Amino acid sequence: MGLSSSKTKSSSAPVYSAQIEGAAGNINSAYSAQAPKISAITDQLGGLVPGLVEQYQQGDPGVKAAQGYNTDVLSGKYLSGGNPYLQQQVDTTNASVRNGAAASLGTRGLTGGSAFSDIISRNLAQNESTLRYNDYNNERTRMGQAASAAPGLSAAGYLPLTAIQDILQAQQAPVQSAVGAGSGIGGLLGQYTNTTQKSSPSLGAILAQIAGNAAQAYAGGAG
């Protein structure tokens, strides 16, 4: 019956509501204070993008020069072209070798003759071969170093693009800060609640209680 129905009311209240709301207010205050600064910094970074795009398109002069030199070394330009000072070094040292050999042979009484010429020729040939081999070997070493440097020089040409990518990522900072503040506040206010229930008895229960009380009173009087 409709008279026997009962009503139940429930209410929820945050536990430590004052502390939680205070902490949420602190988060909101910190975000509000820092948001303009974050936006200003990201705007300044964004202003660098056009210059970086132009730098990438035109190429950095230093990087281009280094890449050009590295390419020349790898192509063997200095290996085939030779050292312009090598012949001068050969001539200078050959004179010293000839004089030294002649002086050494003279002390042995071997000056003049075919043996003298043969010994001098061999010494001069050995000196020149050593100098030219060392020069060749040094240039091959530089070619190896150039090969190792090539990937880094190639990557250097893309540094402006890397900087642009970093700026684009940094421009997400205001949004990330807002999301972080919202998550922090939501996490505080959305947890730890108490539930209180209140029930109202039905009319039939109230009448039954009255009748029971009356019966008890009557029984007590009759006794």
3-class secondary structure, 193: strand
Question: What confidence score (pLDDT) does residue 1 get?
Answer: 43
Separation of alpha carbons 132 and 89, rounded Å: 10
Q: Label residue 177 by pLDDT band (50, 70, 90).
A: confident
SS3 percent helix, strand, coil of the chain, rounded to 5, is 80, 5, 15
Question: What confidence score (pLDDT) does residue 112 get?
Answer: 61
The proportion of the chain whose per-residue pLDDT surpasses 90, expressed as a percent, equals: 9
pLDDT at residue 48 tops 70: yes
Dihedral (Cα; 113, 118, 121, 123), 10-degree rounding:
-110
Instruction: Say if residues 13 and 194 touch (Cβ distance below 8 Å).
Output: yes
pLDDT at residue 57 tops 80: yes
Question: What confidence score (pLDDT) does residue 2 get?
Answer: 44
Instruction: Say if residues 53 and 129 touch (Cβ distance below 8 Å).
Output: no
Separation of alpha carbons 96 and 82, rounded Å: 23
Residues 101-135: tens digit of each pLDDT: 777 766 666 666 666 777 778 888 898 899 989 99
Q: Domain extents for the chain?
A: 65-156
